[in-house]
Amino acid sequence: MHRPSSDVAFTPAVKAVQARRGSREAYARLERRGGFGTELDDELARFVAERDSVYLATASAAGQPYVQHRGGPRGFLRVLDPHTLAWADFRGNRQYVTTGNLAENDRAFLFLMDYETRTRVKIWGRARVVEDDPALVARLMPEGYRATPEQAVLFTVEAWDVNCPQHIPRKLDAAEVEAALARLQERVAALEAENERLRAAAG
C-alpha cells in the first residue's frame, strides 16, 4: 500500500495523539487524497523566490536536532526543478554543525516564514553538501552579494505543507518600512510646500 507523503510528519506516535485529541479524521481525509504536496508548484516557487531568510533543521546520526538560519538577498534560495532547491552556503562562524550532520544523516527540513502575509511553509526532504563544484557554487551565488561562498547545498523535496496563519504575529520588513516612510515624508514635504505657496498667494 502506498504511504501518503504526510507520513513524513505523521508518524504512528503522532497519529495516536491526533486520535486521542480529535483531529485524526481530518488528517485521514488528507491522507486519502495523497497527503502533502510533493512537487514545488509555480505558486510555491514564487514564494520561495521572495524569501531572504530560511531556517534549516538537521539532526546527527544519534538524533540530536539542530536548527540554523540561512539568509541572503531575495532569491538566494533557488528552485532548480519541481523537486530540488539549492543555495550557495556562505562562510559563517565555521562550526559546521549542519555540514557534519548532513554527512551522516541526510534528512533535513526547511521552515520558511513570511511575517507580512502571515504565511509559513514547511518542507521535508533530504539535503547534501557539494564542496567540489565551483561552477555550481558560482551559479548559485547571488550577484553582487558580499559574502564568501564555501559550498553549495542541494535539497531534494519529499513533502511540503502550508500552515494556517493562526498565532503568527504580523511583522514588516525593515527595508519596506523605510521605503514607505520615505514616500510619506516626500508627500508631507510636497504638502507643506503647497501650503506655503497658498499662504503666499493669499497674503
The mean of the pLDDT values for the chain is 94
CB 153 within 8 A of CB 141: no
Q: Does the pLDDT value for residue 177 go beyond 90?
A: no
Grid cell digits, residue 10? 505523521
pLDDT of res. 1:
58
pLDDT in tens, 7-41: 999 999 999 999 999 999 999 999 999 999 999 99
Q: Does the pLDDT value for residue 164 go beyond 90?
A: no
pLDDT in tens, 112-162: 999 999 999 999 999 999 999 999 999 999 999 999 999 999 999 999 999
What are the start-end ranges of the E strands in the chain?
Answer: 53-59, 65-71, 78-81, 84-90, 107-114, 119-130, 149-163
Report percent pLDDT > 90 for the chain.
Answer: 79
pLDDT in tens, 49-98: 999 999 999 999 999 999 999 999 999 999 999 999 999 999 988 999 99
The CA–CA distances, whole Å, from 198 to 108, 185, 190, 194, 202 equal 64, 20, 12, 6, 6
In whole angstroms, give the CA distance from residue 52 to residue 145: 12
pLDDT of res. 180:
85
pLDDT of res. 179:
87
Grid cell digits, residue 117? 502575509
A 10 A CB-CB count for 105 gives 17
**Nearest C-alpha neighbor of 127 from the set 66, 88, 85, 67:** 85
CB 38 within 8 A of CB 158: yes
